[in-house]
Every structure is written in structure tokens, then in C-alpha cells.
Structure 1
Amino acid sequence: MELAWITLGLAALPAMFGLVNLWLLPRLRAPRAAQEGLVSILIPARDEAANIEACLRAALASRGVAVEVVVMDDASRDGTGEIVARLAEADPRIRLLQAPPLPPDWTGKVHACARLAEAARGTHLLFIDADVRLDPEAAAALLAHADARCIAMLSGVPRQLIGSLGEALTVPAINLLLLGYLPAVGRAFTRRADLAAACGQLILCDRAAYEAVGGHGAVRHVLHDGLALARRFRAEGHRTEVVDGAPLATCRMYGGFAESWAGFVKNAREGMATPMGLPVWTVLLSGAHLWPWALLPAPPAIAAILLMLALRAAITWRAREPWWTVPLHPLTVLVALAIQWAALGRWLLGRPAGWKGRAYPATKAA
């Protein structure tokens, strides 16, 4: 019974954070007046033939602010560049660039983003992935919020489109960890760099601040560029903030379990999967979300399960994720922990992280 009470306490922590964070997370509204300036929508693209046209058409539909769209074709092998070139012929707002050879100590996406920023003409830089579909009001809403609150970097998690069981067992962990375990959910009033957060799928940067902190060149070796960039901004004294990204964009990150596993293992090395941090995270997550099931029918265990399912349902509603993923919640947490331990194991063995035909050396975990 004592262990059941411990699990209830561990479940109460994310429930409390989640309640506060769901209230704190800003939901942006489209500005009433057109915004001044130019937003450069910057898209690194490597083998994105299946995504790039829909991504570009959504970006070009932006309203409320002037935009340009710049695509960096990063040595694609599937005709991505040809698709962009065809669309650029019909719309002068599109520019296609070819990525130079990848220098040592850089990761591919970070290098492409750095070169995109150099080529951009805008006062603000909106970095998105090729699998992101912007809402027409997104760029203007992000710019208005950033200008009104003097925020140098804004980010949000787009609404995640989940089309398979494998994705349902992996993708919802993003919002669970952000809303359930990050104090104040990355709001700008939390100035500490270790409380910064960002999602690399959707990031708006003030150009002057971006250049002042060294841009992507300052985080050239990372794979989780959003988080590293947000921490860099805060370390240099700039304000960053996370907003509700579900109304701003949609994204289907992966196409199934194998792709999801590989993608999350790649990023985990720079998040939870550290020798010091992961044991703590394992106790926090398994104690709140997994242990109570083994302690049934103890009343505290029942209460812990109800708390966690209520938290997951609330996050699912706010993130606009499919309701059918909620009953899978314990398995989602179990898979999330397995991913973290697999990533840590790869790092300890010195195995490189691979993505889209490239391999990166195992960097030192914090």
C-alpha cells in the first residue's frame, strides 16, 4: 500500500503541472491589422518529394503579413529540387537553393537552416519542416505575438497527425512531456535556459536576435536544433516562449513505428537520454504511468490511473490529437522509456546516430 501512495504522489506532480500549463499555454489569434515587415519561411528539405509541394502551397497561402519562401535542397535524391523549381517558376516568392557540402562538426538540418538564414531577406525567420502545413494566419499571428511581447524566439508543437498504431505509441509523448513535466511550459517569464523549450518543426526568430546569438552556427553539432537554439537564446539574455501550435500548423512526422522509433532515438541523445538524467526520468514516468497498473486494486493506484488518464485526455483535447490514442497511454509511456534507454545504450556503445542517409558521431551526453 505504501508503494501505491508513492505512485499517487508521482501522478499528482504531472497532473498539477499539466493543469497549470494548459492554462498558461498561449493560444494565438490572427491579428486584426496586417503586420509590417517580411517573414522569411525557411524550409530545409532532404528527400521530401512526398511533402514539399503541399508544404509550399500552404506557406504561400499565408495572409496578414508579407512572406517569402526559401527552400534549401540538401542533396535530395528523389526529385525534391525539381518540384520546388517548377513551383518557383509560377510564384516569384519561392526561391530554391542548393546546400553546399556538409562541413565537419555540422549536422545536416542545422547546416541547411544556417545557410537559409544567410539567404533570407526577412525581418523575421520562420523555420519549418517540410512535413509541416502552416495555417494561413500562422505567420502573422506568430509575428504579432512576438512583437507585442518583445519575444526573440517563438515556437509551438503543430497539431500532430497520427495515422497508424506505431505513431500513436510514440508521437503523443511530445505533448505529454512538454505539458506534464516542464514548469510554466516554456513561457517567456521563465528566464532560465534550462527551462527553455522549442519544437524544431515551427520556430519564429527575430533576425537581429538570431544573428546576435550566433544562429544555428552556435548549435552546429546538435540534432535537436529547436531545444538547443532556445537555450542559446536564453543564455544570451533573449526571451523565448512556447505557444499553442495546434491551431497554427499540422504535421505528420513519421509514417509508422519503425520510422518513429528511429526519429525519436536520434533526438533523445540531446534530451532525456543521459546517464544522470534518465534513471530519474524512469522513476518519474514509470512511477506515475506504469506502476499503478501493477498495484491494482489498491485505491491510491486507482486514483493515480484516473489522474493520468484525465491528464492525457486533457492534453489530447488541447493538442487536437486523436481520441483513440488515449487508451494506449501506458504503452505510449513504456515505448517512450524504451526509446530513451535505446538511445542511451547507443551512445554508451559509441554508435552514430543516423538520419536520411547520414551518420553522425555519438556526441557526449550531458
Structure 2
Amino acid sequence: MELYIYLLSGGLLLSFLWIIINGMFYPAYPKSKKTPIPPLVSILVPMRDEERNVLHLIENLKELTYSNLEFILLDDHSSDATYSLAISSTDKDSRFTIFQGAPLRKGWAGKVHACYQLSHAANGDFLLFLDADARLKKNTIERMLPFFQNEKVGLVTGFPRFPVTSWLSKLVVPMQHFVIWLHLPLALANYSSFKPASAAHGAFMFFERSAYDFVEGHFSVKSSIVEDVHLARVMKEHGFQVKLINATPYVTCHMYETNKEVWNGFIKNIYIGIGRSPIMAMGITLFYSLFYISPLFLALLSPLYGVWFFVPLVLVWLQKLYIDFRTGQRAYLFLFMPLSALAFLVILHASMWKSWRKQHYFWKGRAYK
């Protein structure tokens, strides 16, 4: 047993060092070069049943300090007051265009179809697709545009800071950052055309317009419900660089508010996100069970067998605390990391089970397979 503790602790220590080193390959924010005429940036927001978000979103967009913006919001057949609230809160601001989307076409995912329509309504040299629950720091556009000074960069994206409310959101939503820092080689993601090393977050997708048009934009991933990752891969496939940044200083996403939303949101993405691979799912299950769940049970045995049984849990906590600190997450949540890993695995297996039984995933009144 002592040998097992030593090996487990050694593996966790190495993975902690890897997390620190891997995070160094997030690209630094470059300094901007002054241009006589700032390029037009189109901020594009698909909305479906976003009554609780739309007013806060519009207020946030109005506060942006970049001087050349247009805002285009699409109401995607909402069943609530999303459209009327958007109209009433923007009628005196000429930068805003609000329109209702066309009926969903066969073979298209709902959000992708909405984004496709938004892109055709946009006039900008750059296209920033935002989710309605995303909020931007006032100078976000100024801080993002310098990434495109490298003409090969076609897409800038990043995982936002996630304020969390419900107990399931506290366990699962911050795990998105943990998975990226631990599993994605950021050097390959940011400085190579290696497609499997790709990640993106659909709440914040900033495209150079000509690159977006060259790859046919959302049309190229029209049936995908993980369109963000698939678009990143398409960009790389066509020779464009994708910059996956630590967006937490500038972008916040109030992703899910209730436990039910967390469950439904993750269950539709998580198994598809690993390519519907049962082998990968089993590998992930073994990995997280061994390294991130078992240390909790070992720690409970430490009063009987000694302090060494507590060391693996401390190393697990240090990993999560480091990532939470770097991504602006609530500090105390690191204490629940074993439970977060367990919840992550439960949702993964529920998602896989739905796929195996050929059941639909449901999101905002629409069914997907």
C-alpha cells in the first residue's frame, strides 16, 4: 500500500508540474498598433429564450469602449419575451440591429443556424460571436484585436471566467478549465496545425472576417452541436492559426444557473466532445477515479495509517487551487475536487448511455442526436 501511495503522489506531483508548464503556453496579450481607421467589429449574438440575460447583455455591450462597433442580435424563435425586451432596450442606439431568425433548416443545429444568419447580416472586418450569457470587460475588443496582427491568425477564442451558483454548477462548470490545463497540450493548440489539439468555447469566438468566409464559417459545421471545437479544427485544416487564450480577465460567462441546466447542458456535449469513443470514456473514467477520486478515500484512512495517506489529496487540492486562482474562480471550490471529478464522470456515462440507446439530447426545446 505504501508503494501505491508513493506512486500516486509522484504521478500527481508530475501532473501538477505539467499544469504549471502547460499554462505558460497560453499566448500573452500583445500590444496594439495604432491604426488611423479602426476596423469595424460586428458583435453577433444568437438568442433563444434569453429573457433573463438579454437586458444585462445589452447594457454590457453599450459599455464597450471600442469606437467602431455594430451589434446584431438574432431572436431564434424564443417562447419568452426575449425579442420584445431586446427591441425596447435598443431602440435609441443605432449600433444595434435586432431581427427574428428564419425557421430551422433540416440538417442544421439550432445555434449554428442562428450564427450562420448572423454572419450574413454582419458588415464587420471582424466577427465576434457571443453567447447571450457572456459579459465583456469594457476594453475587451481593444485587447483582442492585436492578436490578428499576425495575418495567419483566423480565430481567437478562450474559456471565460465562470461565476457559479447552484451546487452542480460549482462542481462541474469550473472543470472546463481543469480539463484544458491538464489534458490539452497548449503548445500544440496555439502554435501548430495539429487538429486533435484544438479547443474553443462557443461563448466567445472572435474571427477575422476573410478567414471565416474562406472556410465557409458556420456552414462548414452546420450539423454540429459542439460547433466551437469543430470550427477551430476547420480553421486549422485550412492553414489558419487558432489562438486559445486565457480569456478570464476579459470575458465572463454566466453559463448555467440551475442544476437541471447544468445537467442538460453538459450531457449533450460531453460524450460527443470526445468523439463518441467508449474507449476514451473508459480511459477517462479510470484516470479520474485513480488520480482524483481515490485520494479522498485514502485521506479518510490517514488517522489509521499515517499522514502519507493524506498527501495525494493535498496534491489534488493544489492542482485545482492553482487553476482556480489563474481563472478567477471561487477559492474554496478546490476542496470539492474529488466530488467534481465524480460528478464529471457521472455526466459522461449518462451522456454515453444516451448515445448508445440512440436517445435524443434536449436543449432549449430542441432535440439532437
2:289 counterpart (268, 278, 286):
286
**Pair 1:352-2:353 in alignment:** no
Q: Please show how residues 303-342 of structure 1 align to structure 2 within 5 Å.
A: 303-342=311-350
Deviation sequence 1:288-333 (CA, Å, 0-9, x none): 1112233344776544322221111111111101112111111011
Amino acid at match of 2:105: P
How many residues were matched structurally? 361
- Aligned residues with identical type, % of pairs: 28
**Pair 1:22-2:23 in alignment:** yes
What is the deviation of 1:33? Answer: 4.2
Secondary structure of 2:106's aligned partner: coil
Deviation sequence 1:73-100 (CA, Å, 0-9, x none): 0001111111121233110111012111
- Matched with 1:234 is 236
Q: Please show how residues 1-366 of structure 1 align to structure 2 within 5 Å.
A: 1=1, 2-12=3-13, 14-28=15-29, 31=32, 33=34, 36-148=38-150, 150-184=152-186, 187-272=189-274, 274-296=277-299, 297=302, 302-360=310-368, 362=369
User: CA 1:185–1:341 in structure 2 vs 1: closer, same or farther (change >3 Å)?
Assistant: farther
Structure 1: 5+ residue runs without aligned partners? none
Amino acid at match of 1:269: Y
Mapped to 2, the partners of 1:30 and 1:44 lie a distance apart of 31
Aligned 8 A contact 2:27 2:190 in 1: no
Aligned 8 A contact 2:317 2:334 in 1: yes
Structure 2: 5+ residue runs without aligned partners? none
Secondary structure of 2:268's aligned partner: helix
Between stretches 292-301 and 252-261, larger displacement belongs to 292-301
Between stretches 182-191 and 102-111, larger displacement belongs to 182-191
Mapped to 2, the partners of 1:166 and 1:160 lie a distance apart of 13
Mapped to 1, the partners of 2:59 and 2:45 lie a distance apart of 13
Mapped to 2, the partners of 1:166 and 1:245 lie a distance apart of 23
Amino acid at match of 1:347: S
Decide which structure has the larger Cα Rg and report it: 2
What is the deviation of 1:13? Answer: 5.0
Secondary structure of 1:72's aligned partner: strand
Deviation sequence 1:172-198 (CA, Å, 0-9, x none): 110000111111266421320100111
Aligned 8 A contact 1:41 1:126 in 2: yes
Mapped to 1, the partners of 2:146 and 2:160 lie a distance apart of 18
TM (normalized to structure 1)?
A: 0.93
What is the deviation of 1:166? Answer: 2.1
Mapped to 1, the partners of 2:174 and 2:295 lie a distance apart of 20
Deviation sequence 1:129-160 (CA, Å, 0-9, x none): 00011111112211112224641101111111
Amino acid at match of 1:152: G
Coordinate RMSD, CA, aligned: 2.0
Amino acid at match of 2:348: Q
Amino acid at match of 2:350: A
Mapped to 2, the partners of 1:158 and 1:289 lie a distance apart of 24
Between stretches 95-104 and 346-355, larger displacement belongs to 95-104
Aligned 8 A contact 1:151 1:188 in 2: no
Mapped to 1, the partners of 2:137 and 2:61 lie a distance apart of 8
What is the deviation of 1:234? Answer: 0.9
User: CA 1:89–1:314 in structure 2 vs 1: closer, same or farther (change >3 Å)?
Assistant: same
Amino acid at match of 2:16: A
